[in-house]
């Protein structure tokens, strides 16, 4: 019988085959959704889908792309944003 916290939607069920031939259910924490772009809501590339405890141990360069607005805007929206700033209409 699963514990109360395992019945919520927080954990995903992973069926694991043991060496004895039984199939048991392990409960693993679900990964968060892909981060969206702040303008167009398209999923961002280069931003890992990891839990907060894993993200805290990653180096800063692995957490988001090394470019202006990295981890906030997708590359196409970033390009448009930089062009509008350069033209002085921002």
Per-residue pLDDT at 90: 52
Mean pLDDT over 8-28 rounds to: 94
| Domain extent listing, the chain | 1-30, 32-90
**With bands split at pLDDT 50, 70 and 90, how would you rate the model's confidence at 8?**
confident
pLDDT tens column, 44-86: 999 999 988 999 999 998 999 999 999 999 999 999 999 999 9
Q: Give the CA distances from residue 35 to residues 11, 13, 17, 53, 67, in Å, rounded to whole numbers and listed in that order.
A: 20, 23, 33, 17, 16
| Model confidence at 4: pLDDT above 60 | yes
CA-based nearest residue to 71, from 90, 87, 58: 58
Percent of the chain topping pLDDT 70: 98
């Amino acid at each position: 019988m699963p514990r109360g916290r395992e019945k919520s939607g927080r954990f995903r069920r992973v069926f694991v085959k043991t060496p004895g031939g039984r199939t048991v259910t392990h409960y693993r924490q679900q990964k968060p959704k892909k981060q969206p772009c702040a303008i167009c809501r398209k999923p961002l590339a280069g931003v890992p889908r990891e839990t907060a405890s894993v993200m805290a141990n990653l180096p800063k360069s692995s957490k988001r792309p090394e470019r202006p607005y990295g981890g906030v805007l997708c590359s196409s929206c970033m390009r448009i944003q930089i062009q509008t700033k350069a033209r002085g209409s921002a």
